Structures are given as C-alpha cells and as structure tokens.
Structure 1
Amino acid sequence: MQRATISMFAHLVQSMGCKLEFQHLVNKHQSDKASKGFSSWSQFIAMLFCQLTGAESLKEISDGLFSSLGKLNHIGAKAACRSTLGYVNQNRPYKLYEDFYYVLPDKFRHEIQGRLSERFTKPVYSLDSTTISLCLRLFEWAHHRRRKGGIKLHTLLNNDLCLPEVIVETPAKVSDIKGAKSILENI
C-alpha cells in the first residue's frame, strides 16, 4: 500500500512545480547551512508525506519513505531515520515553512480564486472548530473531561481564497458559540 501511495505522492509533488520557490526560501533562511545530507526539501517531503498518509509517528514516516527510495529520487528527496527526522523537526527554523505556506497561494491563486465571487459581492466566510486531543500526563492544563485533555481550534475560513483568516485556540470545553465570539474580538 505504501508503494502506491508514494507513487501518487511523487506525482502530486512534481505537479505542484514549486521546488524553485522553496529553494529560494531555503537560501533566504539558510536552513541547509549546517545540514549533513538531509535537506530542508527532504524534510518538507517527509512532513507532507506524514500529513497526506496520516502517519502517526516518526517511525511510520521513516518506514514509509524508506520503502520507496527509488521514487523519492525522482522528486529530489531522501529518506531519513526517525532520529534524524526528530532532530531536524526540532532544530530547523519554522520560518522557512511559514514563508513557503504564503508563497503557495500566490502560485495557485488563479486556480483557487473566484469560486464564490461570481455569486456574491462580498467575501464569504465559514466558521469551523476542531478538537485536538492531548495526553493529560503531559498537558495537565488541558483537562477536558474526566480522563481526556484537549484544546479546540476555532477557524474563520475565507471561502474565496480557501485560507484561514483567523485561528483562535481555546480549551476544549469552550463551546463553538463562545469560540465564534472570541474570533470576532480578534478581527
């Protein structure tokens, strides 16, 4: 199953065609300055693989990428053991990936913009929330239920751009209405 996933994954990454923009940001942030063979691009590919396959651990990511080394070469990435992934995730500057997040909408604006603008004269927004479970032994402050912990993210999504405008974090107990009110306070 991992082989078919990585094949579609490699096709998706190649069709994005954004490696040049990514490399420009790597040079700007000098994130590959002290890397010993595991580039920022390989880290990005690993984390994208994690997100799209639903991997829940660094071992799952590492095993999945090692199972398809030949296909990774086509997109210019390398696999890494879980300790390397853990180290780069902890020590590489996040600012590179934040800036890359803002580059992507500009690159694909022609594909995502204007879905609702034909029908409505003003922007259309959606409000959504999601609860993220947390381990109570590690995050005692996130007490939600008797044996569960968590936080809730309330998101105001701009439907025309398909991007979040505001994200507010609250304890998991907070209702969606109260979360919506806190979003309005942050606008």
Structure 2
Amino acid sequence: MDKDTLFSSFGKWLAPICTKSFTEKVKETNQDKYVKKFTTLSYLKLFLHAQIQQRDGLREIADDVLSKDFQKELGLKSISAAQLSRKHNQVDSALLEHVFMQLVLRIRQHTAPSMLRKDFKIIDSTTIGLCLQKYKWAEFRKTKAGIKLHFRLEYIDDETVVPEKVTITSAKKNDRTQMDALVNELGVT
C-alpha cells in the first residue's frame, strides 16, 4: 500500500464484511448476472450505512447517495427508492445469512476460548413489521405482517454479547418453537 492510498472509515468498517468470499458467493449465486448499475455489493454497503445512520425509509436511504464521497464508495451516481425496493426483493436472503455466519465465525476466531462463557447462552428475538399487502405469508395481525428473528446470544465478557446463531420465522411464532434449532447439541441454553 502506498502513502497516497486513502481508506474511508466506512470502508474500513466494511472490510471484514466485503471480503473475497462475499464476492465469490455473489458470483456463485448469479446474483449480479444482468446487473449494470446497482450491484449486490453496493446494495449491502448502502443498507449497512442506512443501519448505522438509523434511516427510516427508502427515500432517506436514497438521499444518502447524493453525497459525492458516498457515491465514490458505492460506485453510484444516484438511486431511487423504487430501485432500492426492487433490489431488496431480488437479493437472496441466503447470501445475507452467509455474511452473518462469516462474521460470527470471525468473532469466534478472534476471541480467546477462555473468554467465552460456554455454560450460559441467551435465546432472544425481535419482531420486524412488514406490509401485509405484500407479505401475506407473514400475517401477524389483521392489518400487519411481520417476521421474527430468533437469536442465540453468546457472552464474550461482562459487557459484550454477540449473536451466535439466528433463525427467521413469521412473527406469530413463539421463541419456544425455535428451541430445537437454537439450543446446541450439548443442551446448553
């Protein structure tokens, strides 16, 4: 690396995520087969940035692309909320699950085994609301749809908890229904 090479702090933060394995997985799944402008890597960067900035909707996310520096990072000049929505529907969730599992693996590799509490895990969940008209399969209430992310969390130290495993169900499912999937072979919960 030469002295004139610059990395943005956002780019440094993304480095563990945007690895060779991610781009290989995108090619393997033909995720960007006919894509000319908005690649899956740009999509991932944009939505991770939106998460960090706590954006509330697709219009706010699209407005972020108006920043010249961010345009360079993404390789995009502009994007509309409709394009974001279409891309969001096209991205394979298994690809995002792969990213999550790679990050969990990296955390575990960089954490000393003596720091992990193997005798105690937490099962928790969070519900994400969705539009009932579009996601009828995820009916939650009369006027609302949703999914539930069920996590198995692992303690690294007194202040650090990391997700170790996740399952996704419709929002109606109780955490107890996912115990078999989340409790490891040894029965430690």
Supply the AA of the counterpart residue of 1:34.
Y
For structure 2, list consecutive stretches of 5 or more residues without a partner in the other structure: 1-7, 184-189
Secondary structure at the counterpart of residue 113 of structure 2: coil
Supply the AA of the counterpart residue of 1:102.
M
Match of 1:42 in 2: 42
Tell me if structure 1 keeps the 8 A contact 2:126–2:150: yes
Deviations 1:147-172 (A, max 9, x none): 98867655332335822435475757
Deviations 1:94-135 (A, max 9, x none): 332222222223344333453733xx5x34202334344566
Secondary structure at the counterpart of residue 62 of structure 1: helix
- C-alpha separation between the residues in 2 aligned to 1:164 and 1:22? 19
Match of 1:12 in 2: 13
Supply the AA of the counterpart residue of 2:126.
T
Match of 1:4 in 2: none
* 1:42 Cα deviation after fit: 0.6
Tell me if structure 2 keeps the 8 A contact 1:123–1:159: no
- C-alpha separation between the residues in 2 aligned to 1:148 and 1:90? 19
- C-alpha separation between the residues in 1 aligned to 2:145 and 2:94? 29
- C-alpha separation between the residues in 1 aligned to 2:93 and 2:34? 15
Aligned CA RMSD, in angstroms, stands at: 3.5
TM-score, structure 1 normalization: 0.66
Structural mapping, 1:92-131, within 5 Å: 92-112=91-111, 114=113, 116-117=115-116, 120=117, 122-131=118-127
Aligned residues: 168
Tell me if structure 2 keeps the 8 A contact 1:156–1:183: no
Matched, 1:84 2:80: no
For structure 1, list consecutive stretches of 5 or more residues without a partner in the other structure: 1-6
- Structure 1 window deviating more from structure 2 (50-59 vs 108-117): it is 108-117
Give the alignment partner of residue 184 of structure 1, picking from 176, 179, 182: 179
- C-alpha separation between the residues in 2 aligned to 1:82 and 1:92? 16
Tell me if structure 2 keeps the 8 A contact 1:26–1:96: yes
Closer, same or farther in 2 for the Cα pair 1:129/1:9, shift >3 Å? same
TM-score, structure 2 normalization: 0.66
Percent identical: 23
Match of 2:57 in 1: 57
Match of 1:159 in 2: 155
